[in-house]
Amino acid sequence: MAHLCGLCLALRGDHGQFARIVTNYDGLLLSVLTEAQTESGAGAGRRTAGPCPLRGMRTASVADGEGARLAAAVSLVLASAKVRDHVTDGDGLLARRPVARAARRVAASWDTAGARSGTAVGFDTSLLVDAVDRQVGIELLAGPGTPILTVTEPTETATAAAFAHTAVLAGRPRNAGPLCEAGRLFGRLAHLLDAVEDLHTDAASGAWNPIAATGTSLEEARRLADDAVHGVRLALRDAEFTDGQLVHLLLVHELRRSVDRAFGTVPVCASHQGGGPYGPQGPHGQQPPGPYGSPQHPSAGGGAHPYTGGGAHPYAGGGGPYGGDGFGGGFGGGGFGGGAPVPQPPRRRGFWAGCGMFWLLCCTCKLCCAKEYEGPWSRKKREGVCRDCDDCDGCDCCCPCDG
C-alpha cells in the first residue's frame, strides 16, 4: 500500500489530480524494485503523506522518490495506449464521437506527461510507445502457426527496459542485466495470462486473442508461463537487493499463484486437442475464420467435448472445470455435448466504470485486506495483497504487513 499510495501521489504531484486515475498494480512494481535495491538508512525513500479519504482519512508512510516517478511515467504512457485501444475498438461510451475525441485528447496529454516524467528520471518512454505501435502491426499479421512469443515480444521488450532502469535509479548497474531478464519474462507472463483469462470473453465478443489467433494450445501456453515464472525467480537470484522480501513475494509467490489461478479457471470450451483453441477447424468443422484468421465464436452444441473422461479441466487438479472465477463452458444454450446450461462470465466493466470501482475498492481497503474481491475492470476474482502467505517453500519470506 505504501507503493500504491506513492505512485498515486507521484501522479498527482507531477500531473494533477486527474492523472491519479491511472494508478495500477503493474506500475508499482517499478517502485518496489527501486526501493529494494537502494542503499538507504531507516526511513529513507519514504515520507509521511497527509490524510486521504481512500485511507479512511489516516496519514501513512508512502514510497517517495525516483522509483515512484518512474512508475508514474510508465503508467501514464501505458494508460494512454489503453485508452487509444478502447477508442479504436469503440468500447462503451467511447463509440460516441464526442467522447472518443475527448478520450484521444486525454491520451495525447498522458503521452506528453509520461515522456516528461520519464526524461526527469532518465528513462526514454519512446521505448514503450514503439512497443505499443509494433504490437498493433504484429497482431494484424499474426495467424495460425505464428509463434505466440512473436506476439508477446513488444510487451517483453517494454517491461525489460523499465525493470532494468530501476537498477540505474538505485545505483546498482550490475543489476541491470538480471532485472532486464526478469522484466522480459514478466512481460511475457503478463501477456500470456491476460490472453488465457480473456479467452472465453474474447471468443464470445469476436475480439482478437493471441492464443486463438495463433492456434497455441493451452498446454503450450502453460509450459511457457511456468518457464517464465521459473526464469523470473532465477533472474532475481542474480540481482543484489538491500531488502528483497517484498520483491520476492510479488515476483515469485504471486506470479506462481497467478498462473495456477489463470489456468485453473480456463473454460473447458477453450480446451483443445490441436490446431486452434477450438480444434483444427473450429467447433463445427468447416467454420469460417474470424477477422484475424481464427474462429470468431465457439457456438454451443454439436461436437463432442475434448475431455471425455469425466469432464475435468486439465489444470483444475481433478475438480470441476469452473474453479475460482470459473467461466461457463458454452455460449447461449448448453455446453459442448448438449450438457446443462452453464453460467456466463461477468461482463467486463468499461474503462471509466472500472476506474470508479478501483477507487471504491481502495477506499474500503479491499485491495489490500480482502481475502477475495472482484477485479475493478475484469470482474475476475482477486486476492488482497495483505493476506496469509503460507507457501514459502522454506524461503525467508513473509507478507510485509503488520497484521
Q: Residue 63 has what pLDDT?
A: 87
Per-residue pLDDT of the chain (403 residues; tens, 9 = 90+): 889 899 999 999 888 888 888 888 888 899 999 999 998 654 457 888 888 887 778 888 898 889 999 999 999 998 988 888 888 777 777 888 888 899 899 888 898 999 999 999 999 999 998 998 898 899 999 999 999 999 999 999 999 999 999 999 999 999 999 999 999 999 999 999 999 999 998 888 888 899 999 999 999 999 999 999 999 999 999 999 999 999 999 999 999 999 999 998 655 444 443 333 333 333 333 333 433 343 333 333 333 333 333 333 333 333 332 233 332 233 233 332 333 333 445 667 777 777 777 777 777 766 666 767 777 777 777 776 655 544 444 444 444 433 3
Cell of 119: 526524461
Q: How far is CA 87 from the centre of its chain?
A: 20
In which region does residue 274 sit, left (phi positive, over 0), alpha (psi from -120 to 50) or beta (all else)?
left
Residue with cell 491511472: 22
Q: Residue 58 has what pLDDT?
A: 85
| Each residue's pLDDT tens digit, 221-272 | 999 999 999 999 999 999 999 999 999 999 999 999 999 999 986 554 444 4
Which 8-state DSSP code applies to residue 251?
A: I
For residues 210 and 198, the answer to whether their CB atoms sit within 8 Å is no
Q: How far is CA 325 from the centre of its chain?
A: 16
For residues 107 and 80, the answer to whether their CB atoms sit within 8 Å is yes
Cα gap 205→292, rounded to integer Å? 13
- For residue 106, give the amino acid letter: V
Cα gap 17→37, rounded to integer Å? 29
Cα gap 33→369, rounded to integer Å? 22
Cα gap 108→114, rounded to integer Å? 10
For residues 277 and 338, the answer to whether their CB atoms sit within 8 Å is no
In which region does residue 326 sit, left (phi positive, over 0), alpha (psi from -120 to 50) or beta (all else)?
beta
Cell of 244: 528483497
* Domain ranges (residues) in the chain: 1-123, 124-284+293-298+314-327, 353-403
| Each residue's pLDDT tens digit, 25-78 | 888 899 999 999 998 654 457 888 888 887 778 888 898 889 999 999 999 998
Which 8-state DSSP code applies to residue 344?
A: P
Q: Residue 193 has what pLDDT?
A: 94
Cα gap 196→209, rounded to integer Å? 9
Cell of 142: 499474426
For residues 237 and 266, the answer to whether their CB atoms sit within 8 Å is no
Cα gap 93→95, rounded to integer Å? 5
Q: Residue 25 has what pLDDT?
A: 83
Q: Residue 269: which of 204, 351, 366 has the closest Cα?
A: 204
| Model-wide pTM > 0.85 | no
Cα gap 265→320, rounded to integer Å? 10
Q: Residue 283 has what pLDDT?
A: 35
Q: Residue 393 has what pLDDT?
A: 44
Q: Residue 191: which of 218, 163, 225 has the closest Cα?
A: 225
- Buried b / exposed e over 277-295, threshold 16 CB at 10 Å, is bbbeebbeeebeebebbbb
- For residue 271, give the amino acid letter: S
Q: How far is CA 172 from the centre of its chain?
A: 27
Q: Residue 132 has what pLDDT?
A: 87
